[in-house]
Structure 1
Amino acid sequence: MTEAARQAAADLERLGGTPEVATGQPVVDHLVALLDLERIEENIFRGVSPAESPVRVFGGQVAGQALVAAGRTVPPERKVHSLHAYFIRPGDPSIPIVYEVDRIRDGRSFTTRRVVAVQRGKAIFSLSASFHVPEAGLDHADGMPDVPDPESLPNRAWSMAELVDKLGAMATLPRPIDIRYVTEPPWKARERGDLEGGNQVWMRADGTLPDDELLHVCVLTYASDMTLLDSILARHGIYWGYDNVVGASLDHALWFHRPFRADEWFLYDSVSPSASDARGLATGRFFARDGSLIATVVQEGLLRVYD
């Protein structure tokens, strides 16, 4: 561990978190404001990126904002149950994003919306979302894995302390999502020769969210793009910053099964069934603290590893 990492670890142990990383309710409030789009026209909305953004717009942000745009055109009694999205071009965080909503269908039970995110006249992202009137039916679900409680695990800043010098500015970005790693970092698994793969983290918004069901779904959508590709890297014992790997989300699909609050702990359990041709596939399941399965996600990502 470098001297910078040792100092970061010492700060974390003394203060419970690194003073260089903004967390807590103010950062969560900023995320809520980020998802509160400006309505320009009946089916056109505008969103912005945080001032502290990396070189391109975070995929979870544009997905969450696009879902907000879709939801703003749907009656509140219809709940989003799925979304399918493509990341088309890297987004520029220095300029606004315009979201154009196409009202594809309004049926008796289902509503379908298509959203295109545009910058400089070009599409950077597209999303299709389906909304459903709640109704009775069959009910079953997989059980939650047996994992430690989130309170017994260190926060993300502590877990990533030894990567502070490698991740640079990325390590100090504000963190509206509290992440607690259940599984070991990939480089530690590589050292032990245990490359079964998989990635498990506890997550929650690091503060209290308003009582808006669509907002909670959009916050989970935001969070779903944060650690999913890690399950692909874990199969090979490599990691961002630690190894020379470059990645990007290509497409993203989410299905929402049961109501939940994104400001309460949920387990994100992800694995990767395949990787080839510089692309990797990852699947994930979200479980509420009580063990109920609340959502399922699938994503393909571009992953290039250089010597």
Structure 2
Amino acid sequence: MSELLSLLDVHPGPSEDSWIGPASGPEGKRSFGGQFMAQTLAAAARTVESTKLPTSMHLQFLRGGEAGDDVEYTVQRVFDGRTASHRRVESRQADRVMTAASVSFSVPLPGPEHGRLVPLPQDPESLPRTGPVGPAPSMPLDEIDIRVVDDRSTGEFVRRLWWRVEIPVPDDPLLHDVIAAYVCDVYMIDPALQVHGHSMRARTHRSGTTDSSIWFHRPVRADRWNLLETRSPAAARGRGVITGSLVGADGEIAATVAQEGLIAEREKPSES
């Protein structure tokens, strides 16, 4: 099994409805937030019948995690109905709560549809492979092709992050959603800094994700090109918000994402 698929394959924990998410490593490095997003979704889904697919997840980051340690996820079965289910999930390391999340599932239902981005702005094959836009997080980048284009042509900062996994992925819709939750978190807070000419890479500010949400609309294919197009509508009081659309290769919007993050000025050293 690939490093990515092994990382996202949670296994039963010490008690009922608890699950263990493998460490990403290396020791001493801060955990990648997308790991908590993906493993939370995977753990919640283990307690829901397979006919119900993820519709939304809202996760709050309470503490920074240790990349070298496993994570225990505790799932609370809040609601199970005929067509929908709801779960609460907390993650812990060393008995300390790292994240708290709510996750909803539903069987697909008929109804009106809209949401298409036409035409797609680039051919991702024509773009150079860039990788993440900040210091390399603890994620298997050799298995994920990431290509980033930033656009200021309209006066607004827009980030277009193309991605696909380069490993065989089983034809399991849930797994593709889990991978999307994992990849879409990579330095998503950066557009809030870029609006002001700063960046995650420059480390000019204290920054980090505090809250992340994703709404799933259509099936995601992680082994095909996907476009995550993001922008930051507002920032104040040391926090910034980013909104975005995850668009499949067919031009249809597969998911909507939103994130809040810390973008506070670093404290200046006091003069002695």
TM-score, normalisation: structure 2 = 0.90
Cα distance in 2, alignment partners of residues 292 and 88 from structure 1: 33
Distance change (3 Å), C-alpha of 1:305 and 1:288: same
Give, in angstroms, the shift of residue 54 of structure 1: 6.5
In structure 1, the partner of 2:129 is 155
The CA deviation string for residues 109-128 of structure 1, in whole angstroms up to 9 with x for no partner, is 11001110011212110111
For 2:150, what is the secondary structure of its paired residue? coil
In structure 2, the partner of 1:273 is 233
Give, in angstroms, the shift of residue 207 of structure 1: 2.1
Cα distance in 2, alignment partners of residues 57 and 253 from structure 1: 18
Distance change (3 Å), C-alpha of 1:215 and 1:145: same
Give, in angstroms, the shift of residue 144 of structure 1: 4.2
Q: Does 1:97 align with 2:71?
A: yes
In structure 2, the partner of 1:4 is none
In structure 1, the partner of 2:150 is 183
Give, in angstroms, the shift of residue 47 of structure 1: 1.4
Cα distance in 1, alignment partners of residues 203 and 209 from structure 2: 18
In structure 1, the partner of 2:164 is 204
Q: What are the within-5 Å matches in structure 2 for residues 1-307 of structure 1?
A: 29-40=2-13, 41-52=15-26, 55-144=29-118, 146-157=120-131, 167=135, 170=136, 174-175=140-141, 176-183=143-150, 196-306=156-266
What CA RMSD, in Å, does the superposition of the two structures yield over aligned residues?
2.3
Distance change (3 Å), C-alpha of 1:252 and 1:54: farther
TM-score, normalisation: structure 1 = 0.80
Q: Is the 8 A contact 1:38 1:45 kept in 2?
A: yes
Cα distance in 2, alignment partners of residues 195 and 261 from structure 1: 32
For 1:211, what is the secondary structure of its paired residue? coil
Q: Which has the higher helix share?
A: 1
Cα distance in 2, alignment partners of residues 225 and 284 from structure 1: 11
Aligned residues: 265
Q: Structure 1 segments of 4 or more deviating over 6 A?
A: none
Q: Is the 8 A contact 2:32 2:138 kept in 1?
A: no
Distance change (3 Å), C-alpha of 1:305 and 1:241: farther
Distance change (3 Å), C-alpha of 1:147 and 1:94: same
For 2:68, what is the secondary structure of its paired residue? coil
The letter of the residue matching 2:67 is P
Q: What are the ranges of 5 or more consecutive residues in structure 1 without an aligned counterpart?
A: 1-25
For 2:35, what is the secondary structure of its paired residue? helix
The CA deviation string for residues 39-77 of structure 1, in whole angstroms up to 9 with x for no partner, is 023301111222336621111001100110000111001
Distance change (3 Å), C-alpha of 1:94 and 1:292: same
The CA deviation string for residues 98-138 of structure 1, in whole angstroms up to 9 with x for no partner, is 10000001011110011100112121101111100111111
Identity across the alignment (%): 36
Q: Is the 8 A contact 1:268 1:287 kept in 2?
A: yes
Distance change (3 Å), C-alpha of 1:69 and 1:256: same
For 2:240, what is the secondary structure of its paired residue? strand
For 1:182, what is the secondary structure of its paired residue? strand
Q: Is the 8 A contact 1:272 1:281 kept in 2?
A: yes
Give, in angstroms, the shift of residue 143 of structure 1: 2.2
Distance change (3 Å), C-alpha of 1:271 and 1:33: same
Distance change (3 Å), C-alpha of 1:130 and 1:172: closer
Q: What are the ranges of 5 or more consecutive residues in structure 2 without an aligned counterpart?
A: none
> Is 123-132 or 52-61 further displaced after alignment?
52-61
The letter of the residue matching 1:221 is A
Cα distance in 2, alignment partners of residues 242 and 44 from structure 1: 39
